[in-house]
C-alpha cells in the first residue's frame, strides 16, 4: 500500500501532503460497524486502524467514532460525517 501503518494518522490529517485527495461524505451511523473496526483493528494513539490488503483500503476510527477510509489505488481519503438518520 506504500504507507506504514503508523503513518496513517498523518495521511488522514494531511492527505494533500501525501498526494491524496480529500472527500467529505455523509453516512448514517447504522451503515457502518465501528465496533468491528475497533475489535479487529490495530490501535495507534487514539486511532483504530483496520486495513484490507485485497482492496488496498484502510478504515480508521478515532475515539470519538469519526470514520475515515483511505483508498490507496484511487489516492483518496474519505472522511465521513456521521448522522443519526433523522435528517435523511
pLDDT digits (tens, 9 = 90+) for 63-75: 888 899 999 999 9
pLDDT digits (tens, 9 = 90+) for 36-64: 999 999 999 899 999 999 999 999 999 88
Q: Where are the domains of the chain?
A: 5-83
| 33/20 Cα distance (integer angstroms) | 25
| 7/33 Cα distance (integer angstroms) | 23
| 81/61 Cα distance (integer angstroms) | 12
Tell which wins on pLDDT, 2 or 88. 2
Amino acid at each position: 500500500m506504500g504507507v506504514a501503518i503508523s503513518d496513517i494518522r498523518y495521511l488522514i490529517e494531511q492527505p494533500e501532503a501525501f498526494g491524496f485527495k480529500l472527500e467529505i461524505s455523509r453516512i448514517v451511523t447504522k451503515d457502518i460497524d465501528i465496533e468491528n473496526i475497533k475489535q479487529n483493528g490495530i490501535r495507534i494513539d487514539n486511532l483504530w486502524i483496520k486495513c484490507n490488503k485485497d482492496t488496498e483500503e484502510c478504515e480508521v476510527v478515532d475515539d470519538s467514532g469519526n470514520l475515515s477510509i483511505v483508498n490507496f489505488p484511487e489516492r483518496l481519503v474519505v472522511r465521513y460525517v456521521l448522522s443519526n438518520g433523522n435528517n435523511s
